[in-house]
Structure 1
């Protein structure tokens, strides 16, 4: 499953997801960007840019494979960005999303102070809680890491929540659920996936995939 592109779509379509992870109210005006830093090979996958220079810039990375030089690269990218775009923000925070604790690198030296500071937030998807209780944005994240046997039931649950709860942009959430399942069950057709999610014929006709 190409989780990087899935999370990129999730953040781009539902930028409030980052603030749900942090347990904060979603501020207005933030935009999500993927930033390539000039004259380097560095690319920061997720940058949440504040609407004015008095705001906080947020850096977000999704890390599903253990990389024992990850923090070395991540902090290098962050500090280069801070140098290049210092006039666009007043402070910074960083978020790293792991599927579980075992995916994190083992040794934090010489970045122990930064890793343990309140500037860095480490999120482990398998510890977020139940799909029923999570905000839909976070439940979508958790859906990406569920075993194949659990995914159909979980995806139907999220599709039903999307239909019955007062959520912003329900059509976007439904599309994201469908896309996640399509990535997982590559042998199924789009229509079979939509049927799995419990779409009626009329709902099916209203989807982009139809």
Structure 2
């Protein structure tokens, strides 16, 4: 499972999740995500969340997800952190956040890092969430990653049903689909959407659906309760989701490009915004290796 990209997508789209997992971070605090290279050994950190706020009390967050056994994990993780702090002469406080499948993974000896692990690093074991009730919406998303396949569709629908606005529904649907695509790698996105029963009655029970209903009434889109609801929701969801997903992916990609390459010209930004979702996803992975704006120009030229 391509956990790195999946997790940074979750954390950027659900910023309140960081505040839930790390004590002392305000709920409204926003972060920028990057994957900086440590030049000495060309070590790339999986994820660095940098506060947008200038408040020096809010720490950098070194985020990493680990789903498999790796006896060198702790060595590599802490080496990367301290190499970064040295190379970039960081004076800000930092905090670690490890997303782990369970506490049985062999990640190397904890003894040399015990003080740091106990005081400066939060470890979240995803499989522990399977036995917890009344999870927040954010933690329910993370639990879906390790939910058994037989229960995943029902769990995903509950997450979508909890949406209270159109914007929240779209964000959750984007993340739920991303998680299920990783979990059911052989299914197409259309099969995933069918699994979620987006065309069936359970979707009509969400508050999001009721908002769509009210908008549809004002625009004269309903010609009878059942027919109007089903047609209006299906068309609106398909068009709105595609447009919203493309715009969201473009905004995220542009933020990442500015982070690693500097400011973009209006022409460059427009070219990025005109890319399709698959192209944006491809660019999102390629930009991790960009060194300057010339790399972006070359990529755009190759993918006209």
TM-score normalised by L of structure 2: 0.60
- The unaligned stretches of length 5 or more in structure 1 are none
Which residue number corresponds to residue 16 of structure 2? 16
Q: Verify the 8 A CA contact 2:47 2:62 in the aligned structure 1.
A: yes
Match status 1:112 vs 2:114: yes
The aligned residue for residue 90 of structure 1 is 92
Task: Choose 193-202 or 17-26, whichever is displaced more.
Answer: 17-26
Q: Is the 8 A contact 2:74 2:108 kept in 1?
A: no
Shift of 1:84: 2.4
Shift of 1:6: 1.2
Higher strand fraction (1 or 2): 1
What are the ranges of 5 or more consecutive residues in structure 2 without an aligned counterpart? Answer: 200-233, 246-304
Ranked by relative contact order (alpha carbons within 8 Å, sequence separation 6 or more), the top structure is 1
TM-score by structure 1 length?
Answer: 0.84
**CA radius of gyration, larger in:** 2
Over 3 Å counting, the alpha-carbon distance change for 1:167 and 1:141 in structure 2 is farther
Distance across 1 between alignment mates of 2:40 and 2:55: 24
**Alignment CA distance shift 1:131-1:108 (3 Å):** closer
Give the structure 1 partner of residue 103 of structure 2: 101
CA contact (8 A) 1:31 1:48 kept: yes
Q: Which moved more, 1:20-29 or 1:171-180?
A: 20-29
Whole-Å separation in 1 of the counterparts to 2:117 and 2:29: 28
Q: Return 165-174 or 153-162, whichever deviates more.
A: 165-174
* Length, aligned pairs only: 205
Asked whether the equivalents of residues 159 and 197 of structure 1 are also in contact (C-alpha less than 8 Å), the reply is no
Of 52-61 and 95-104, more deviation after overlay is shown by: 52-61
Q: 1:138 is paired with a residue of what secondary structure?
A: helix
